[in-house]
Chain A
């Protein structure tokens, strides 16, 4: 099993009446709700928590990319990842990911990911999302019906830039480059492992299967609701005669809160979980799915955006709704372990993106929950899929001996050298 401690980096100061006074947390969120001075503290606390997760023994620490978004103040995950690469020792740096169709030219991603891989000593796990409609189309202006073609071209360019050893010309439709020759290139060969966040597109299933990439379902609605979608993926894996059904071919994001008892979990975490589900996920439905962003085939399979409002609109969700519905796995270590087992076995997923920081959760509570998970839950889940433990295709392969940040020698001193010994 690979457990990645994930932080979406929500803005923790959205007002109580946010839903009533604002139409969306994303795209056209009120500028005035962001306070740059307060963000100084927020960013540094969030990065500290990611570093703390490394010391607890999580396999990875994860960041992602969103734009103009009140629950994800990370338009550039690579900036955060660079800090983490320096300040952590063991955890994989999971960047899930860079929306490669948005970078011009996409060799920028090949270069920055190579830098992260080099700085971290080969600890990078690279994610290539198409990006949500909110980010890709409405914030970054990509034409919906051309987004996937542009994405596919960016992917081809990045992989070639990573793997070819001589300069080459790239005559794409969206990128015309005479001399592709990235410098530096990544440590991991032939390239860092790639995870693809998806939301139920058949095309994305096939893309992962054909390229041996891990398919990640980054949902906030929990493992119970994910069964149909993940089964669709595994059915597709079988249909296309993939050589195996290794659970590492798949990843899943799950909100997790651990306390000593179920009651304590509710008492400690309820307000922060409700802040996230009832305030942060308030997205104007008109931004959910730009027409043309999803393929017709995907719409016909009924896989609709998780951001599209349910028929009848959102109700105000309660702690009980969220826990019983599986949006959130919360409770004592024993309760959480049982439900995590259901998740892992039910979805057949080897990569778990643990959303341990939720909404406006303060650092001390987040540390408490993370520590309990790392010490009392994670060890018991380690051996749950024994037959596939050796599958390293979807995880990073760090250098055995890695540099330690901040260990410069004494500066050169001409005076000292001149002295007779």
Chain B
């Protein structure tokens, strides 16, 4: 059971979900955001004390115009760790959240000993360009995000009525808030120089990738693995970019291997 709370940082009052008990763990969500019913959070909370902030523009956390670039969000990450009252938590990030987590680990290598990157953004391989997620129509997304797009589509849109104008406006507002923020780190190319900082990461690192990821192709897994000394790469079959929805237990198990 996750509880919604507020952490105050210098630039933003950040709403976050907290639940479970055990080793403290901070989870950073991806560009699509997260919900209190997120199955990965539930799985992690069985064995860990989970802190999962809604980044500015997501959920009930207000948009924060003062935070503009990669460094701003990397430092927000560390400000949040402090606001949660934690020292050296397990740091887990998915997609855009993985990019922030990797930057946090690189900028403060002595403050972090365990890191889990789930299909992280942040690298760009010339021969394997990542599709432009900022031009995708909602109905086009499942094909990029899920191993099984049809089932994924149901996960994404259950309970949503795109023909209701009121709903549509709320949807557009949510999309503008969320992806507007994500664009600060991911638009137009989801790369902000992480490759030249990866070497600084000291944390024991596990990298998790869905074998059917069509947004950030699995070939990015070995690129992260090669950049981070001693990292362990786990490829999950029959899972796409939303491996956290499609195989939450497998991801939780990989994270748990960090202790």
Contacts and interface: CB of A to CB of B under 8 A. Distances in A.
B135 interface: yes
Contact of B176 (A138, A287, A296): A296
B49 interface: no
Nearest to B140: A286
B222 interface: no
A290 B63 contact: no
Nearest to B188: A141
B136 interface: yes
Instruction: Identify which of A141, A292, A293 gathers the most chain B CB atoms within 10 Å of its CB.
Output: A292
A296 B183 contact: no
A149 B179 contact: no
B173 A291 contact: no
B60 to A, nearest CB: 14
A290 B182 CA distance: 11
Given A284-B135, A287-B135, A143 B176 contact: no
Interface in A232-287: 284-287
B137 interface: yes
Contact of A291 (B140, B175, B189): B175
Per DSSP, chain B at the interface is helix
Contacts of A77: none
Nearest to A291: B179
A90 B84 CA distance: 68
Q: Please classify how large the interface on chain A is, using the bins under 10, 10 to 19, 20 to 34, 35 or more.
A: 20 to 34
A302 interface: yes
Contacts of B189: 141
A296 B169 contact: no
B183 A138 contact: no
Contact of B184 (A137, A143, A286): A143
B52 to A, nearest CB: 22
Interface in A209-252: none
A144 interface: yes
Contact of A286 (B135, B178, B180, B188): B135
B215 interface: no
Interface in A131-172: 137-138, 141, 143-146, 149
A300 interface: yes
A149 B64 CA distance: 13
B134 A291 contact: yes
A110 to B, nearest CB: 25
A337 interface: no
B100 interface: no
B69 to A, nearest CB: 9
Interface residues of B, number: 24
A299 B176 contact: yes
A145 B183 contact: yes
Contacts of B172: 299, 304
A304 B183 CA distance: 20
Nearest to B134: A290
A291 B135 contact: no
A195 interface: no
Contacts of B177: 296
A300 B173 CA distance: 7
A299 B169 contact: yes
Contacts of B159: none
Given A146-B68, A296-B173, A299-B172, A291 B188 contact: no
B173 A290 contact: no
Interface string A291-312: 1111010011010100000000
B187 interface: yes
Contacts of B68: 146, 173
B187 A299 contact: no
B181 interface: yes
Contact of A292 (B135, B136, B169, B176): B176
Given A143-B183, A302-B169, 19 more contacts: A141-B187, A141-B189, A144-B180, A144-B183, A146-B184, A290-B183, A291-B178, A291-B179, A291-B180, A291-B182, A292-B180, A292-B181, A292-B183, A292-B184, A292-B187, A294-B176, A296-B173, A299-B172, A299-B173
The list of the 4 closest CB pairs from A to B, nearest first, reads: A292-B180, A291-B179, A286-B135, A145-B180
